Amino acid sequence: MNTDSQPNRNRACILFVDDEVSILNALRRLFHNETDMDCHFASSPMEALQILTAQDVVVLVSDHRMPQMTGVEFLARVKEKRPGIVTMMITGQADMAAMQKAVNDGEVYRFFQKPWNDEELVRAVQQAVEFQRLRSENVKLLATTKEQNAKLAQMNASLETQVNLRTQQLADALHTARSASQNLEDSLYGSTKALSVLLRLSRPELGSHCHRVAEYAIDIGKAMGFKSRELRELEIAALLHDGGKLNLPNCLIDKSPKDLNREETLLYRTHPALAREFCKSIPSYARIGEIIYAHHERLDGSGFPEKLKGDDVPFESYIIGIVDEYDHLIRHHANNQQLAYQYACENLAELSGSKFPSALVQRVLDYIQEIINRSVGQDVVRVGLSDLAPNMKLAHDIYTMSGSLLLASGQSLNLQQIARIRSIANLDPVAGDIFVSQKSKQQVR
């Protein structure tokens, strides 16, 4: 039983399990400087189970091939003892059957193959720790809701026997309860927004895609007469619609679905179910989870994962599905807006009545035309890092020299984003020039 640091309540407890001493030593060196983590190392599943009994482990990283039992068998036992722990697996061979079973059973958060990428592994563990923190906060919010609902029930039971004398008091109590419930709902909504920001920071391309899809979906929902609560559900579902991809290997996330082989496609198609499972942990998000689960279903039954069709698919799922398609289509010509809009319109028009309801497709086409009309009179200008200012709108994506997406086009900059761009550029320079949109001089006159 090994540990690199003294236990600290303020540090997240991480456990690494591998029967190869050299692997454990490599992991020990890799995580030595992670001061916010209390790292433990075990050379066998049985030793790891002893550590789990003694320590409050929040993230477990295990080898797959071990003498006493496989990683999947070990994690299954861990799940019985510690169902809330976030588990990852490192394997020296691509055992897709075991990977798929572990993902479907909800036993594994992420997979890595040996040799792993150091930066990617550290980032994944950091994300898992942050995920646990957010989940813990959500659990506390739900506990508070349950406690306040219990207090309200007790208050109502008492007031029922005195209704003639204390009618006004009951009205006041109900008003207080509604306010508390609204505050909790707002807090949960805020936590979801914070989670989406974290997603954009950890996986900029995926997070920016989810953010854009949410913006498009809200605009379409407003145009179709959605009420405020319906719009909020639609926004949350859009922000989290690809959240299940975080549980997939990076090689699948970075590939186009058209380039996946059969086994990769089966694994890729589990991401709506993974996102729904996350939403199930929050009672008020149950319907949001169903919207996310069906966002790849199509009108003619050609989608996945259930091949639902027609009215069996929530209309919000159709909205997220079509704006998801739209966002991917306009990326084909990211450097030519007019060509990108034309390409998107042509392809979406072909989906009318077959993949999506005709009225929805027409509403989206009208929306694209509105975007085109708003872009008239806009100039695209080149600026330097030092010229960036709040409220500038990016005309093109910003990438670093290593190929990482910093920010996607269409975003209006704020001070935090500008500071982040400049900070990262000191370590990984921006590739090419930075272009922003602004009103043309003729329009200004």
Query: Which residues fall within 8 angstroms of residue 387, CB to CB, at 6 or more apart?
Result: none
Could you tell me how far CA 265 lies from the centroid of its own chain? 20
Neighbours of 212 (CB within 10 A): 21
Domain at 394, CATH number: 3.90.105
Q: Name the token pair of 52.
A: 């789990």
Domain at 69, CATH number: 3.40.50.2300
Do 347 and 357 meet the contact criterion of CB atoms below 8 Å apart?
A: no
Residue 109 phi, psi dihedral angles, 5° rounding: -85, -45
Residues 221, 284 within the same domain: yes
DSSP single-letter state for residue 352: B
Residues 385, 247 within the same domain: no
Which residue has better confidence, 200 or 224?
224
Q: Name the token pair of 178.
A: 């509604």
Confidence grade of residue 187 (pLDDT, cut at 50, 70, 90): low
Residues 212, 357 within the same domain: yes
Query: Which residues fall within 8 angstroms of residue 163, CB to CB, at 6 or more apart?
Result: 170
Residues 248, 309 within the same domain: yes
As a whole number of angstroms, the distance between CA 56 and CA 34 comes to 18
Domain hosting residue 133, numbered range: 126-202
Residues 220, 365 within the same domain: yes
Confidence grade of residue 119 (pLDDT, cut at 50, 70, 90): very high
Highest mean pLDDT among 34-43, 111-120, 354-363, 378-387: 354-363
CB neighbour class for 163 (10 Å; exposed up to 12, middle 13-18, buried from 19):
exposed
Residues 207, 313 within the same domain: yes
**Domain termination site, one of 341, 375, 409:** 375
Residues 100, 19 within the same domain: yes
Residues 346, 357 within the same domain: yes
pLDDT, residue 39, reads: 92
Is residue 121 one of the residues assigned to a domain? no
Lowest-pLDDT range, 16-25, 162-171, 263-272? 162-171
Residues 433, 333 within the same domain: no
Domain at 324, CATH number: 1.10.3210.10
Is residue 39 one of the residues assigned to a domain? yes
pLDDT, residue 417, reads: 83
**Domain termination site, one of 375, 397, 415:** 375
Asked if residue 186 has pLDDT above 90, the reply is: no
Tally of structural domains, the chain: 4
Residues 49, 178 within the same domain: no
Residues 207, 218 within the same domain: yes
Give the pairing of strands 393-394 and 378-383. unpaired
As a whole number of angstroms, the distance between CA 431 and CA 153 comes to 60
Residues 224, 351 within the same domain: yes
Give the pairing of strands 434-439 and 393-394. antiparallel
**Domain termination site, one of 375, 408, 429:** 375
Is residue 412 one of the residues assigned to a domain? yes
The arithmetic mean of pLDDT across residues 23-48, rounded, is 91
Residue 199's closest CA among 142, 285, 123, 296?
123
Q: Name the token pair of 378.
A: 């806009």
pLDDT, residue 442, reads: 47
Buried b / exposed e along 229-242 (16+ C-beta atoms within 10 A):
eeebbbbbbbbbbb
As a whole number of angstroms, the distance between CA 358 and CA 30 comes to 54
Neighbours of 211 (CB within 10 A): 19
Is residue 262 one of the residues assigned to a domain? yes
